[in-house]
Amino acid sequence: MVQLNPEIRRFLEEVCLRTEQYLGAETTIEVEKIIYQFKDIQQLQLGQLTSIMAVGGHLKVMFAFSFEHGLADQLMSDFTQELDFDEVNTEHYISQTIAEMINIILGNVLANFEIRGKSIILSPPVVISDAKSIYRDKNAIFISAKLYTSFGEMHVHCIGPKALFDQELNYLEAV
């Protein structure tokens, strides 16, 4: 098993705290509780809607924000309340909303992790809409947090090293 870099644990904690602040400031969604799981996660269960971003540089992990539908629906509703849009495209707007959320949160948190002279790179966010399970390979690390909100649960997963996975969180090769 890959050794867990203590900075990655701190990164997950800061991402969750920033998520809580962001939801409180920008939406009607209140985070009621956050539960962290830092050790021995053998399997990740992703929900129907998951937004993924890869972090490059010295951290080299992927983050996945996995949403229950009620929470994703409320996010989209909060962000589009003053806009007129075609309801036929609601699923598209939900996907765009959760992609933008992970982009904003990771972008804000990464400022705390820059090392002078070394850049940190973010991939564009990708949204997958398939529920899936990911079993931990001996070379992978999985740490997670579950955020309980007034509109459903959200899971924040930190998965590494990113070189093991494609942008849909499939293993690139058997290791």
pLDDT digits (tens), the chain, 175 positions: 456 677 888 899 999 999 999 999 999 999 999 999 987 788 999 988 999 999 987 778 999 999 999 999 999 989 888 777 677 778 888 999 999 999 999 988 987 776 666 777 889 999 998 888 999 988 888 999 999 999 999 999 999 888 888 888 888 875 4
pLDDT (0 to 100) of residue 40: 72
Domain 6-164: which CATH class? alpha beta
Separation between Cα atoms, residue 104 and residue 164, nearest integer Å: 25
Separation between Cα atoms, residue 5 and residue 59, nearest integer Å: 9
Closest CA to 2 of 64, 63, 61: 61
Separation between Cα atoms, residue 14 and residue 42, nearest integer Å: 23
31 membership: H or E segment, kind and range = strand 31-37
pLDDT (0 to 100) of residue 12: 94
Instruction: List all residues 6 or more positions away from 171 whose beta carbon is below 8 Å from its beta carbon.
Output: 137, 164, 165
pLDDT (0 to 100) of residue 143: 93
With 0-12 / 13-18 / 19 or more C-beta atoms within 10 angstroms meaning exposed / middle / buried, residue 82 is: exposed
Spatial contact of 153 and 146, defined as CB atoms under 8 Å apart: yes
Separation between Cα atoms, residue 106 and residue 61, nearest integer Å: 12
Other C-beta atoms lying within 10 Å of the C-beta of residue 43: 9
pLDDT (0 to 100) of residue 90: 83
